[in-house]
Every structure is written in structure tokens, then in C-alpha cells.
Chains A and B, each alone.
Chain A
Amino acid sequence: EIVLTQSPGTLSLSPGERATLSCRASQSISSSYLAWYQQKPGQAPRLLIYGASSRATGIPDRFSGSGSGTDFTLTISRLEPEDFAVYYCQQYGSSPLTFGGGTKVEIK
């Protein structure tokens, strides 16, 4: 099983600041089968990034993904009020599919 560790657990930032979220895998994720999801309170998760760096349809370009192998990053270049939420990474390259524990981005 591939274990995904997200850090930090909570990120306290102000609107307009840059957010950098980390996702580290316990073993290499082949072909960058890594996705990022955003979840707001009371809502279902929403796909942001797939293939480690491809933005999903309708996702603003302030969201970007990077990385390969075991180290991946989600960057939000300038936080908007609607971006404060919990973010999860997920690997979909092998079963069992696994999620990271999440990073909460909160308003400072």
C-alpha cells in the first residue's frame, strides 16, 4: 500500500498570500498518477489537479501542481477567499487507492 503523508496539517495564511502544500509518498508513484482535491465544509470533494500537474476543467490557473516520484506539491499562487478549505492528495496508480490525511488552509 502506498501511504501518502501531507504537510503541514494546517496552513494559516491571509488572502493574497501564496500557499504551498506538500504530499509525500512512501514509494514512487508511477507515471505521476497523483491527483489533488479540494473539499469545503458540508460539500463533496472537487477535483483540482490530475497527473500531478494537469488542471481539471474550470479550475483557475492560480492552482498548480508539480512533482514526480515520491514528492508532490500543490501551489495556490494568490489565495482567494473561496480557497480556504481542506486539500487532499490521492494516488490512483495501484490498488488500494489511497488519500493523504489532508491539509487545512485556514484564514489567518
Chain B
Amino acid sequence: EVQLLESGGSLVQPGGSLRLSCAASGFTFSNYAMSWVRQAPGKGLEWVSLICGNNGVTYYGDSVKGRFTISRDNSKNTLYLQMNSLRAEDTAVYYCVKSSGLLLKNWFDLWGQGTLVTVSS
């Protein structure tokens, strides 16, 4: 079965750090770009970051640039998001998302169920 399973979400204090993981199964992980997309409570979708499938080229949204780092381990079929200097406005459900191809210009064809990150003191 093709699926994405996120983990690592929790309550963290402002200024803290957290690492999210996403375990992929049912497809050749290294052949596809992967993204993180977040959704604040009651709000719309916001793309966070993308990493290409083979060369590791990365892209970031302006709101997280310099604070978040996306990475992947193709040998473990796992995607990561290292989040530092967390702010209250980072509170959201974070979705792991598979692209339809290797590079940037591909649509999102598979979404995980999401993991909740809450930034609060």
C-alpha cells in the first residue's frame, strides 16, 4: 500500500526545536520530490519546503527560510523536517506530501494524515 506516515509532532515552547519524520512505503521513494505542507488551525494550506528526489536540491517558503531544514534519507525511505527557533505562528498540522515527479514542477499526488505541532509556553 502506498502511504506516508508522519511522526514527531508535539507541544514545544517558543524558541525551541523539533524534528518531524515521514516514513514512506509502497513506492520508490528516491524517484520523487517530497514536501512539507502545513495548515494552521482553521486556516488554509501553506507550502513549507520541498526536496528533490535525487540531487537533494531544496526550496523553502519565506516564512521558514533560515529556521527550518528539509532532508531525506533515501536508504530509509524517510523524509525529515528540522524546525528551529519555533514561533507561535508555526502552530499547525504538518503534512508530508509526495510529488508526482522528481523535481520541483510536479503536482502533489499523495498526502499523509498529518502531525500536529503546537508552539506555546
Contact = CB atoms under 8 A, between A and B. Distances in A.
Contact of A88 (B45, B59, B105, B109): B45
Interface stretch (A19-27, A42-50, A73-81): A42-50
Interface of B: 35, 44-47, 50, 59-62, 95, 100, 104-109, 111-114
B100 A99 contact: no
Interface residues of A, number: 26
Contacts, number: 63
A96 B47 contact: yes
B62 A47 contact: no
Nearest to B101: A92
Contact of A95 (B104, B108, B111, B113): B104
A47 B112 contact: no
Contacts of A95: 50, 59, 104
Interface in A81-108: 88, 90, 92-102
A50 B59 contact: no
Residue with the greatest number of chain A CB neighbours at <10 A, chosen from B44, B95, B107: B107
Nearest to B112: A44
A97 B47 contact: yes
A46 B45 CA distance: 12
B2 to A, nearest CB: 11
A19 B52 CA distance: 36
Given A44-B113, A96-B62, A97-B50, A88 B108 contact: no
Residue with the greatest number of chain B CB neighbours at <10 A, chosen from A47, A101, A102: A47
A59 to B, nearest CB: 11
